[in-house]
Amino acid sequence: MDRVTRREVLGGSLAAVAGVAGTSSLAKAESDTASVSGDDWIVLECAIKETVLDGNRVRLRAYNDQIPGPTITATPGTTLRIRMKNSLPPYDSSAWGGDHNVPHGLDHTALHLHGMDVLPHLFVPIGTSEPLAPMIKIPPGEHLDYVFEIPENHPPGLNWYHPHKHGATAVQAASGMAGPLIVKGALDEVPEIKAARSIPLVIQDIGLFPSEDDPDLWTYEPVQNAIWQTYGGYVTINGERTSLNGGFTTGDYKLRYYLLNGEPFFRETHNDRPNEDTSPVPAQLTPQRFTLAPGEVVRFLMLNGSSDNLMPIVVDGHEVHLLAMDGVNFPQVRSIPATGYSETDGQLLLAPANRAEFLIKANATPGVYQIRQIPHDRQFLESAAKVVAEIEVKGPAQDMALPDELPVPSREYPLIEPEEVSRVRQIVFTGSVPGIINKVVGGDYLINNAIYSEMEVPTVVDLGGVEEWHLSLEDTHHGGIEGHPFHIHVNSFEVVSIGGIEQPPGLIQDTIWVPVNETVVVRMRFKEYVGKAVYHCHILPHEDTGMMQNFLIVDPASRHDHS
């Protein structure tokens, strides 16, 4: 972790930085982390990283030359200081026509702390309440200092960080730019949890095309306005077919890898026979294996950091003892049986950006058990079955205990009562292919029939206010052909019901999968912070091309212009 003095801090402005030391690496253990306390600063530097995946030479983008990025560990009541340095090479966007929802500016970046209940931080200046505030865009060769006061009652748990510069988020994240952020707290002091080993399971997808100028290199560097046509397997610019090898994609890639803690466990290649099957050709690679003693209890921290893959997860032969979703723990452990789970949702349903923390007590019977994703067709393309990792049970038996009661996360409790709701909103994912509005991309990805506008604020909420949002999709003639993960910044929400089925109280998330033909009902209280923020689909190519909206949290005492 690099040290930055107060004299070097420029109050959130952009400045050049010379010489950066990397923070420690996420290896296979949670102990390899960057801790935050007092005046410590963490420097995150994004830059090109060349490496080899599955025998292929690849050019990626990474934080501090690591994929995933370094694990940041923080505690409630402290100040988190991050210097975001951009060392990406220049990118030619001169052909960009100015449409904010056409991917562009791949050399600019911004930082988002996903799941952290902190100051809004996507617009200039950080924490602004100005409706016309522009988005942060850190140019190559410059940096931005982010300073966050972590609330004293912030829930402990697994969160993460990733880029959030509109028009470049998908390319940067699908090239490797993401990392875990763990808040330590009372949950970690529960004796049974403290006694358990912690194993991170950071899942990312890496999208690749052959380089335009190096025949032995795979990368994701689309030429401005170049769009990959999934069905045809070719690239267009403004509708005209080109000889380019790759372009921005809202579907598959020529080559895609799924990584666990930086190592590939699954490969997909583009299907060149679309008349037979439009879905990618899957190939299981050798998964990582974790060794547990019979009766040993281990804590897994799983992040679905993929750009667009829904993951119904099963741990074969084992009960899953769920502690938390999206960084907020339950007051009691929720145990999900090893059999009889949902055939579509598995034991855990992780949309892109979801996190799950759970305990596994190793089976008394030695053997190898799989942590796997159930295959499904709930998105644009089918998602094949994947073995994410393996658990090998062997060695002398133990008899470790499982907890029952967990600390109550006071920032989220008491839960919202129905009579507290002051407003109900309808949030509908809509769109069409081919595109009517976004003709360069060739598809419209909308919320409430509107494409993203940086300067418009269609939703204004009150600080301290309580709202109920009904999340759904339009019918199949208006974009409702695949589910979408809904994500909102700043505050988490309680999931009330899915498809009319009430959920057990206390399911607190910041991202939720919205299925086809079902409505998801959530309730949220807008706590502590005012400012301009966003909600969006967390299928990142959809977000980058318009499936996002701004919202503004205002103090009702000063609310007179924004409603």
pLDDT at 275: 72
Q: How far apart are CA 506 and CA 2, in angstroms?
A: 39
pLDDT at 474: 83
Q: How far apart are CA 284 and CA 282, in angstroms?
A: 7
Write the CA distances from 321 to 339, 496, 558, integer angstroms. 13, 21, 46
Question: 337 Cβ partners below 8 Å, 6+ apart?
Answer: 319
Give the bridge partners for 291, in sequence order. Answer: 392
**pLDDT average per 10 residues of sequence, the chain (563 residues):** 36 31 32 50 97 97 98 96 98 96 98 98 97 98 97 98 98 98 98 98 98 96 96 93 96 97 98 82 98 98 98 98 98 96 94 98 97 95 96 97 96 97 97 90 94 97 98 70 94 97 97 96 97 98 97 86 48
Q: What is the three-state SS of 83-123?
A: EEEECCCCCCCCCCCCCCCCCCCCCCECEEEECCCCCCCCE
Task: Answer whether 496's CB lies under 8 Å from 507's CB.
Answer: no
Q: Is 395 helix (H, G, I), strand (E, B) or coil?
A: coil
Q: How far apart are CA 82 and CA 113, in angstroms?
A: 10
Write the CA distances from 106 to 110, 139, 253, 454, 543, integer angstroms. 11, 10, 18, 18, 15
pLDDT at 434: 87
Question: 137 Cβ partners below 8 Å, 6+ apart?
Answer: 105, 108, 109, 110, 165
SS3 percent helix, strand, coil of the chain, rounded to 5, is 5, 40, 50
Q: What is the three-state SS of 464-487?
A: CCEEEEEEEECCHHHCCCCCEEEE
pLDDT at 34: 52
Q: Write out the two tokens for 314.
A: 């099963």
